[in-house]
Structure 1
Amino acid sequence: MIRLAVIMLLIGGMAGCAGLPPPLPDDARNAPAVATIYVVEYGWHTDIVLPMRPVTGPLTRFRSIFPDAEVITFGFGERQYMQIEHVGFGDMLRAVLPGPGIIMVTAMRAPPMNGKDYAEVAALAVSQPQLDRLSDFVWDALEKTPDDRLVHIKDGPFPGRVFYGSSTTYSGGYTCNTWTAEALDSAGLAVGASGVLFAYQVMDRVNAIAARPAHMQAGGS
């Protein structure tokens, strides 16, 4: 993983400035928190964890796919790399070149825990408008067929994990962590995706937001 980090640092200049999402309207910024989302980190990778009960919109399709799930994690990555069981140095080199993305979806019956499920877990309180925006971002990142079906790539190594195609391109300048930060930005959480490549950058910014009172987490206010 150190060699991969070095490679990604060398090509860090490829990263473009992420487009700023439209600001949350005042009524959405002042809406009460209705749910808790999680940002989880393991190694160099971050995922977003959404509670399924309060989710609205097209992402509710996952309720029928995983009817027993309380929360579902969504993690973006490079399509070929994410499917390799034993990663070699050549795989790392290929992964930093622009290529098709993939979304790893994992159904869980309970929220994630530090040390048990992941190396680090941060919890963020969100309002319904924030959750709706975040859900729409994740849904838009999933690749669909012309008849609006999800593009199933493969089942994971255990029940409850499935890989789906992503419409977003992965590269060394737009990593899983860039995607996580952009998703949170889309919900008005003001993480700041520009320049984000590594997991620690996401977690440092997320933890700073999580330390605020729930009503002050939206929009960085």
Structure 2
Amino acid sequence: MEYNHYLQSILTSLIIFSIALLTGCAKPVSAFYPPDPNRTDNKTVYIVNHGLHTGIVLSKKDADPYMHSFDDFKSARYLEIGWGDENYYQTEKNTLWMGIRALFWPTDSVLHVAALQTDPVAYFSNSEVVQLKLSKTGFIRLVEFIDNSFALDEKKQIIKLGSGLYGTSRFYHAEGTFHLFNNCNTWSAGAIHSSGFPISTFYVFTAGNIMYQLKQDEQ
């Protein structure tokens, strides 16, 4: 009985500690978010739900000063960026084994960058898109998070891979190892969280969860 009581106390403490962590990580950073509606330098980013994963769309003009130069996309109005498993993300016809391997074996990662010339909501008219308003500081922090996700060669240049999935797009080597607890959606959540937005990164496994958290803040 005494052992059971001791075990229950430990479990209760762990639950309380976990809730505290989740609550703490879901709080906005007041200096960055929410943005002051009276300021004229606020920025808008777009989060796109592609079903299994999410993409983050930025104004290229706004992001350029804080991100490595993309010679492939000089004329782009927007850049959509996503992060994922190196093999699964770059393969058009995925297999069940590839999905299992990506989730349960730590694997290398890539970034997918696509150039958009039209408004992201119109371009992804068949997908769920949420607009996120950020302060300039929050926007810069988000862009820097994304920029730091690109792996660099010995000359400090981004490492280009093959063509991307749609339109004018390309894959690049990325920092970080992909697995179940560090997947494409936890990466997106980390980028969003860096802006000061109150999104929890502890239980984000699906694109749907990211969209749910974004919409909760709108209410």
- 1 CA distance for matches of 2:157 and 2:68? 13
- CA separation of 1:161/1:174 partners in 2, compared to 1, >3 Å: closer, same or farther? same
Q: Relative to total residues, which structure has the larger strand share, 1 or 2?
A: 1
Contact 2:33 2:134 in 1 (8 A): no
Instruction: Please say if 1:77 is aligned against 2:58.
Output: no
Contact 1:28 1:129 in 2 (8 A): no
Deviates more, 1:47-56 or 1:101-110: 47-56
- 2 CA distance for matches of 1:173 and 1:166? 17
Query: Over aligned residue pairs, what C-alpha RMSD do you find?
Result: 2.6
- CA separation of 1:141/1:72 partners in 2, compared to 1, >3 Å: closer, same or farther? same
Equivalent in the alignment of 1:196: 204
- CA separation of 1:57/1:68 partners in 2, compared to 1, >3 Å: closer, same or farther? closer
Instruction: Please say if 1:38 is aligned against 2:43.
Output: no
Scaled by the length of structure 2, the TM-score of the pair is 0.79
Stretches of structure 2 lacking an aligned partner (at least 5 in a row): 1-20
Query: Could you say what secondary structure the match of 1:69 adopts?
Result: coil
- CA separation of 1:156/1:201 partners in 2, compared to 1, >3 Å: closer, same or farther? same
Contact 2:33 2:195 in 1 (8 A): no
Instruction: Please say if 1:26 is aligned against 2:31.
Output: yes
- 2 CA distance for matches of 1:41 and 1:76? 13
Which of 113, 116, 133 is equivalent to 2:121? 113
- CA separation of 1:60/1:99 partners in 2, compared to 1, >3 Å: closer, same or farther? closer
Query: Could you say what secondary structure the match of 1:180 adopts?
Result: helix
Which of 133, 146, 151 is equivalent to 1:138? 146
- 1 CA distance for matches of 2:33 and 2:133? 14
Post-superposition Cα deviations, 1:180-214, rounded to whole Å, max 9, x if no partner, equal 111000010111111111111000001222x26xx
Contact 1:51 1:72 in 2 (8 A): yes
Post-superposition Cα deviations, 1:152-177, rounded to whole Å, max 9, x if no partner, equal 12122555110001111110111111
Query: Could you say what secondary structure the match of 1:107 adopts?
Result: strand
Cα offset, 1:35, TM superposition:
1.8
Equivalent in the alignment of 1:155: 163
AA paired with 1:190?
A: P
Highest CA radius of gyration, 1 or 2?
2
Post-superposition Cα deviations, 1:65-116, rounded to whole Å, max 9, x if no partner, equal 3122111011010001111111111111111121111100001002222684
Cα offset, 1:24, TM superposition:
4.4
Cα offset, 1:61, TM superposition:
1.2
Query: Could you say what secondary structure the match of 1:144 adopts?
Result: coil
Which of 106, 120, 127 is equivalent to 1:98? 106
Equivalent in the alignment of 2:93: 86
Scaled by the length of structure 1, the TM-score of the pair is 0.78
Identity %: 24
AA paired with 2:59?
A: P
Contact 2:49 2:129 in 1 (8 A): yes
Query: Could you say what secondary structure the match of 1:131 adopts?
Result: helix
Equivalent in the alignment of 2:13: none
Aligned residues: 194
Cα offset, 1:29, TM superposition:
5.8
Instruction: Please say if 1:185 is aligned against 2:190.
Output: no
AA paired with 1:52?
A: K
Equivalent in the alignment of 2:216: 208
Contact 2:85 2:110 in 1 (8 A): yes
